[in-house]
């Protein structure tokens, strides 16, 4: 995250929301160190939210906040600007910041900032976390548009979008499997074919056709992307009139796929 800020966002005035966005604005207005500003803004938020979040989350938040602030200021004199092209800075800065935040969230960490502010707003103003985060980021980007210009505010909004998508990608993973819901007159035959030909498991779900009023068993199974075509071939060889829904599956834990890691 520090690398994304130092090499891309800070030098190109991309204030993509949050405490880091405020730090970018103050850096260009008053030449204040970005890491130090982030730490200074986070300290009161940390102290206010410590009681609400508990010491366990508080220690992780303090560690993440200190580490990020330290690395931002350590890298600033050592890392040159990667590009002055605003679109490249927007995309690659957003990707790196999103990668850092995604890894942090995946392992139950926090870098403080707007996450803490949003939790406090949620508690005292009864606003949802999502709305609070969106509102804070909107205010920061609006301020950047007023102080810098509207074009930079639009780039900041685009960078925020890229960051959010990268966070989702890191936490959910790349779609590498397919889930299939199968409605057929021959559920047992299709299930046996899945067992024998694909060596995959299947689960029978109880359903009811709302038009016909008849009870109907729905087969659910998960296969790899490479097995998707074979699965559909097996189904339609048995029942050409089967109704099949195939959907992306981002993460599969359990037998035949990866095991859940506890670290």
Asked if 59 and 188 sit in the same domain, the reply is no
Asked if 89 and 17 sit in the same domain, the reply is yes
Asked if 68 and 186 sit in the same domain, the reply is no
Count of domains for the chain: 2
- Quick one: pLDDT at residue 260? 56
Cα dist from 137 to 11, 46, 197, whole Å: 19, 18, 51
pLDDT in tens, the chain (263 residues): 999 999 999 999 999 988 999 999 999 999 999 999 999 998 888 887 777 666 666 778 888 899 999 999 999 999 999 999 999 999 999 999 999 988 888 887 778 777 777 777 777 777 776 677 788 889 999 999 999 999 999 999 999 999 988 988 887 776 678 999 999 999 999 999 999 999 899 999 999 988 888 898 999 999 988 889 999 999 999 999 999 999 988 777 776 666 655 44
Residue 258 in domain: no
Residue 34 in domain: yes
- Quick one: pLDDT at residue 57? 65
- Domain end residue (candidates: 138, 172, 206): 172
Q: Tell me the residue range of the domain where 238 lies.
A: 177-249
Asked if 15 and 95 sit in the same domain, the reply is yes
**Distance from C-alpha of 228 to C-alpha of 160, rounded to nearest angstrom:** 34
Residues 6 or more apart whose CB falls under 8 angstroms from that of 127 comprise 121, 135
Residue 256 in domain: no
- Quick one: pLDDT at residue 263? 47
Residue 231 in domain: yes
Estimate to the nearest angstrom the gap between the alpha carbon of 168 and the chain centroid: 2
Residue 263 in domain: no
For 65, other C-beta atoms within 10 Å of its C-beta total 23
- Domain end residue (candidates: 122, 146, 172): 172
- Domain end residue (candidates: 153, 172, 191): 172
Phi, then psi, of 193 in degrees rounded to 5? -65, -40
For 155, other C-beta atoms within 10 Å of its C-beta total 27
For 13, other C-beta atoms within 10 Å of its C-beta total 20
Estimate to the nearest angstrom the gap between the alpha carbon of 93 and the chain centroid: 15
Contact 256, 200 (CB under 8 A): yes
Asked if 144 and 23 sit in the same domain, the reply is yes
**Distance from C-alpha of 254 to C-alpha of 263, rounded to nearest angstrom:** 17
Residues 6 or more apart whose CB falls under 8 angstroms from that of 163 comprise 16, 94, 95, 97, 98, 101
Estimate to the nearest angstrom the gap between the alpha carbon of 119 and the chain centroid: 18
User: Tokens 């047992």 correspond to what residue?
Assistant: 188
CATH number at residue 218: 3.30.70.120
């Amino acid at each position: 995250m520090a690398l994304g800020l130092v090499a891309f966002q800070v030098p190109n005035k991309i204030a993509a929301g949050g405490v880091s966005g405020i730090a970018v604005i103050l850096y260009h207005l008053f030449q204040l160190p970005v890491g130090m500003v982030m730490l200074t803004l986070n300290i009161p938020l940390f102290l206010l939210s410590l009681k609400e979040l508990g010491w366990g989350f508080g220690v992780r938040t303090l560690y993440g906040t200190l580490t990020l602030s330290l690395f931002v200021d350590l890298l600033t004199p050592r890392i040159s600007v990667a590009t002055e092209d605003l679109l490249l800075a927007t995309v690659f800065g957003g990707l790196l910041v999103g990668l850092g935040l995604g890894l942090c969230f995946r392992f139950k960490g926090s870098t403080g900032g707007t996450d803490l502010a949003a939790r406090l707003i949620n508690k005292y103003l009864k606003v949802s976390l999502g709305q609070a985060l969106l509102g804070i980021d909107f205010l920061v980007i609006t301020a950047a548009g007023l102080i810098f210009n509207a074009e930079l505010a639009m780039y900041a909004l685009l960078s925020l979008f890229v960051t959010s998508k990268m966070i989702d990608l890191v936490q959910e993973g790349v779609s590498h499997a397919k889930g299939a819901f199968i409605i057929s007159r021959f559920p047992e035959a299709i299930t046996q074919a899945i067992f024998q030909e694909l060596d995959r498991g299947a689960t029978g779900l109880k359903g009811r056709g709302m038009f016909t009023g008849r009870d109907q068993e729905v087969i659910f199974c998960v296969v790899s992307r490479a097995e998707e075509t074979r699965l559909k071939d097996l189904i339609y060889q048995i029942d050409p009139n089967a109704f099949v829904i195939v959907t992306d599956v981002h993460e599969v834990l359990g037998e035949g796929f990866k095991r859940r890691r506890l670290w």
